[in-house]
Chain A
Amino acid sequence: MAVERILKDEASEEKGERARMASFIGAMAIADLVKTTLGPKGMDKILQSTGRGREVTVTNDGATILKSLHIDNPAAKVLVDISKVQDDEVGDGTTSVVVLAGELLREAEKLVAAKIHPMTIIAGYRMAAECARNALLQKVVDNKEDPEKFKSDLMKIAMTTLSSKILSQDKEHFAKLAVDAVMRLKGSTNLESIQIIKKPGGSLKDSFLDEGFILDKKIGIGQPKRIENAKILVANTAMDTDKVKIYGARVRVDSMSKVAEIEGAEKEKMREKVQKIIAHGINCFVNRQLIYNFPEELFADAGILAIEHADFDGIERLALVTGGEIASTFDNPESVKLGHCKLIEEIMIGEDKLIHFSGVELGQACTIVLRGASHHVLDEAERSLHDALCVLSQTVNDSRVLLGGGWPEMVMSKDVDELARKTPGKKSHAIEAFSRALVAIPTIISDNAGLDSAELIAQLRAEHQKEGCTAGIDVISGSVGDMAQRGISEAFKVKQAVLLSATEAAEMILRVDEIITCAPRRREDRMTQVMERVVCDTVWLQKLGRCAILMHLSF
């Protein structure tokens, strides 16, 4: 007799081999999708949303690509999630983590086909991951004691991170920007205090770091355009009409004259408020909310610079920079902490006027102004810079550094291979597979650069049998080179996070033997589907590469 339906309509259930197949294929498809963006010669992707406006994003950042894809496969969602967490936690390596997890699953698929139980594979992967981590720990370099060397380490890391992004042409310039900005934070990881302002126009080279603070606002008319030794009051208060907040209050009058009286009283109230603010002895007033014409005029009369409608982040940052507190009542001028700075002036970037605060008290915050040909370039530049800043700020706290260019993967794979030889039992196959998955990363890097990966990886492996080897893949010259000499470094924290989360995700997907999909909830089909097009993938175009795509866009 036929089994009656157990699940609801449209719900589906996949079991055993089929379920495993579905999740492997989904995860590998995602990994293959972002694979081509890996490494310094990795390609970008154009993402076009099908929503209104057909907005276009050009990016090389794994997390951004994955976030905007509309994915149905549950296993693929796990990979998207780890890439997002990688972005939140360390900021970089978002592509590597997905590629590594994909490779681990690809190897696992072969093992499952060879009739090895997933639990055995997981046990092997766990041992291998532990061993790989220890191998890295032995090789790390920590230059915290020596500030000179530490700074050069940071420079190297920033350059390595940026070299795979759109900023690679000017990577030295931007690396310096990023390192300077992060050094000012003095160990805090709060990237909020680094402000990035994007202004189209000029070229990427014209981007600069400003030590002071730039607020994207205009100065009111008739107010001083330049203030020296400014005393700043940062406020969050209503400066339109100060409403009566008591519930149910309303004005009810019986004659026109009364209306005028009350209006007068209202005005008087505002005037009093402004007087109180002026009594703080300030010459600059920044408010989060609107300032109406009347109080603005009063401020202008008193020679005070009044800036309205600064956004919330701007207010907080300004308070942080100038050392003032955000005020909402103004009755005790003596106890409110005011902010200070040497000079406030209006500056021009491109054709926009901005307000520039320089000589600020607490030098913790700073502003980076990005210039570039188009919005797409600027957006991508911001993402790249954000990655670099994240990595640097994490490195400042955990200063352990590794070499780059596939060196860490080779070191790990060598140790893991050794472990495989020593381990009895079926687990050793899994450990061996782990090592193969690790080698896949340098292989992909060289493949993306149009190099002969089989030849290079074999050379690299031979090279790594020597004690204290520093060889990695030098994509620029297309050969195996000394990474220490080339100054290619990566942060240990990033590599560790990549290793651990990729293993964790692979383990999670491997453990699944059944997928149950509920019936999708009925709703309007408004979901923005994102189409992904790989613009060019042939080797000869790779040489023209990114420039070609970008030029196309900017015209």
Chain B
Amino acid sequence: MALAFDEFGRPFIIIKEQEQKTRLRGLEAQKANISAGKAIARILKTSLGPKGMDKMLQSPDGDVTITNDGATILEQMDVDNQIAKLMVELSRSQDYEIGDGTTGVVVMAGALLEQAELLLERGIHPIRIAEGYEMASRIAFEHMEKIAQKFDYGVSNFEPLVQTCMTTLSSKIVNRCKRNLAEIAVKAVLAVADLERKDVNLDLIKVEGKVGGKLEDTELIYGILVDKDMSHPQMPKQIEDAKIAILTCPFEPPKPKTKHKVDIDTVEKFQNLRQQEHKYFDDMVQQCKDVGATLVICQWGFDDEANHLLMHRNLPAVRWVGGVELELIAIATGGRIVPRFQELTPEKLGKAGLVREKAFGTTKDRMLYIEHCANSRAVTIFIRGGNKMMIEETKRSIHDALCVARNLIRNNRIVYGGGSAEISCSIAVEAAADRYPGVEQYAIRAFADALDAVPMALAENSGLQPIETLSAVKSQQIKENNPYCGIDCNDVGTNDMREQNVFETLIGKQQQLLLATQVVKMILKIDDVISPSEY
């Protein structure tokens, strides 16, 4: 580490424990950062597109995850480098905002960094590159608005939505039955969507999985699925027109929060206490019965005695239901969550048309279906599949599809996929570059080149000649003035993405551009890296 000396030749100590830290400065720092960012992008590059490959990740505990989802790969990769962590953050924020395109955004950022490296070598100042990128991203952003199309859908005509979800699912392992899953996702989103406010609360869609069966058995349940069974093995397994009491108080003797003692010193007291205890249980069950409940769902446990009383009074009950599930049940059945037995009233009960218990496989797995609810605003997607990793990957894929469907409901504009939007933007940015005086021009051109990285990776993953294919498509776009030409990944025989029905959401794509540019700008601005050297 470079040191500063005073006039006596003693070093100035500026940073705490200066000797033990490594420091990179200037161009060197930028190049190190860029190469780290590129390394991350290179890992994800092969996962892009319908013919993209999966990654196998082994966690510290030895669990195996096989996935194609960019955000999941990065999150589980256990990275150590600071810049790499930035890229992980980037992918995560795309996941939170949009839910899809997590791989694309990292590939895009990697390409931008790669181009920036070339410019740095030519001696262009990083800030100028960053500014050029900013301008270019604005041009691309506006261009995308231009080529975007509105598309109409209704509650009855949701075919276009299904098509978009299918585009998302086609890059995952579940593409064998993407049609099925896409329909399930769209139906689920439409069921909970608030079409007037144009918003969807994805929390209302619960995704449950269970190993066994085939992927084709995956189903959408208009209701709630709880991985619990009745508290007593002999309670009825099916209840019609259930009135549900949703409780957060245990069927147990009271436990006051303040410290107390009950002293027993005479036989009378002993007997008295016994009777009270007995009466307490009786009262609890009676209160539930009095308001007309036919099913009790409780967040806590039951005492053996209470359990038998419930069963005896013909009041089926479910115990140890988690807080989130309890809330969903309350929303679905239109009931209120009741914290105390005294506050139970008939109005606070939830209503469901059918509650049933279902068993699976050769083991004793049971689940509880709550269906035909008063308010169908909460649905469950129930996934089946050959093994655990398959189920997990399907869950992630369904989540992506749900997000895409939600984005379309929020904003129904789309751009075409298959790299067509990127190519079109690249042409527009390239054309605009000449109009800028100054060094930024180079950065803008570099941005155009970086935009080509996504279609290039798509072509490469699909086993096509990347450069040849890309230039062919590009010239076709310019010649026919048709911004919908893309890479024909599935070997269908046409380049026109309108015919192939490959869409992506406009906001998803725009967000990718903005986020990638932002992160790259941030990385470029770093010119000093100080880190503790541990060895």
Contacts and interface: CB of A to CB of B under 8 A. Distances in A.
Interface in B191-213: 211-213
Contact of B53 (A4, A265, A501, A512): A512
Contacts of B304: 236-238, 328
Contacts of B254: 246-247
A405 to B, nearest CB: 25
- Residue picked from A3, A269, A516, A521, most chain B C-beta under 10 Å: A516
Contacts of A236: 304, 308
A505 B56 CA distance: 13
A424 interface: no
Contacts of B234: 319, 325-326
A237 B264 CA distance: 23
Interface string B228-259: 00001110000000000000000011111001
A518 B78 contact: yes
B237 to A, nearest CB: 12
B361 A89 contact: yes
Given A248-B262, A328-B305, A6 B213 contact: no
Contacts of A82: 386-387
Contacts of A462: none
Interface string A376-411: 000000000000001001100000000000000000
Given A245-B303, A508-B54, A4 B36 contact: yes
Of the four ranges (under 10, 10 to 19, 20 to 34, 35 or more), the interface on chain B belongs to 35 or more
Contacts of A72: 62
Contact of B262 (A7, A249, A261): A249
Contacts of B305: 237, 245, 328-329
A74 B64 contact: yes
A253 interface: yes
B372 interface: no
Interface in A239-268: 244-254, 258, 261-262, 264-266
B415 interface: no
Nearest to A13: B43
Contact of B277 (A246, A266, A326): A246
- Residue picked from A74, A118, A237, most chain B C-beta under 10 Å: A74
Interface stretch (B13-21, B267-275, B504-512): B267-275
B307 A3 contact: no
Contacts of A514: 43, 46, 53, 55-56
Interface in B80-126: 80-81, 84
Contacts, number: 235
B264 A249 contact: yes
Given A77-B64, A249-B273, A504 B362 contact: no
Interface stretch (A155-163, A188-196, A302-310, A540-548): A188-196
Nearest to A386: B362
B459 interface: no
Contact of A335 (B36, B58, B312): B312
A78 B64 contact: yes
Interface in A501-529: 501, 504-505, 507-508, 511-521
A167 interface: no
A76 to B, nearest CB: 9
B362 A89 contact: yes
A189 B51 CA distance: 41
Given A244-B277, A505-B387, A85 B362 contact: no
B232 A326 contact: yes
Contacts of B312: 327, 329, 332, 335-336
Interface string A354-395: 000000000000000000000000000000000000100110
Interface string A103-146: 00000000000000111100000100000000000000000000
A500 B385 CA distance: 10
A77 B281 CA distance: 49
Contact of B173 (A4, A75, A390, A508): A508
B56 A85 contact: no
Interface string B357-374: 001011110000000000
A254 B265 contact: yes
Given A77-B64, A329-B312, A518-B59, A6 B53 contact: no
B233 A326 contact: yes
Interface residues of A, number: 84
B253 A3 contact: no
A54 B155 CA distance: 64
Nearest to B215: A504
A19 interface: yes
B465 interface: no
B176 interface: yes
Contacts of A23: 56
Interface string B164-181: 000000000100100000
A6 B36 contact: yes
Interface stretch (B27-35, B287-295, B422-430, B492-500): B27-35
Contacts of B176: 126
Interface string A29-73: 000000000000000000000000000000000000000000010
Q: Chain A contact residues: over half helix, strand or loop, or mixed?
A: mixed
- Residue picked from B84, B308, B309, B388, most chain A C-beta under 10 Å: B308
A301 interface: no
Interface in B354-405: 359, 361-364, 385-390
B274 A519 contact: no
B78 A5 contact: no
B61 interface: yes
Contacts of A238: 304
Given A5-B80, A519-B78, A78 B260 contact: no
A7 B78 contact: yes
A521 B63 CA distance: 12
Given A265-B270, A329-B309, A515-B56, A393 B362 contact: yes
Contacts of A515: 55-58
A248 B362 contact: no
- Residue picked from B256, B304, B312, B386, most chain A C-beta under 10 Å: B386
A125 to B, nearest CB: 11
B265 A253 contact: yes
Given A253-B265, A329-B309, A513-B53, A85 B66 contact: no
Contacts of B68: 511
A449 interface: no
Interface in A466-520: 500-501, 504-505, 507-508, 511-520
A17 interface: no
Contacts of B253: 245-247
Contacts of A266: 270
Contact of A258 (B57, B233, B262, B265): B265
Contacts of B307: 328
A327 B233 CA distance: 11
Contacts of B270: 244, 251, 262, 265-266
B55 A512 contact: yes
A415 interface: no
A29 B252 CA distance: 54
Contacts of A77: 62, 64
B479 interface: no
A131 to B, nearest CB: 15
Nearest to A192: B364
Contacts of A13: 43
Contacts of A258: 265-266
B32 A265 contact: no
B271 A252 contact: no
The 5 closest A-B pairs by CB, nearest first: A328-B308, A513-B53, A521-B60, A511-B54, A249-B262
Given A326-B234, A508-B389, 19 more contacts: A6-B40, A23-B56, A81-B387, A85-B211, A88-B362, A119-B53, A120-B463, A190-B364, A247-B255, A265-B271, A327-B312, A329-B308, A505-B387, A508-B390, A511-B53, A512-B56, A516-B43, A516-B76, A518-B77
12 contacts: A74-B58, A117-B463, A190-B359, A237-B304, A245-B303, A247-B256, A327-B312, A393-B362, A504-B390, A508-B54, A511-B66, A515-B57
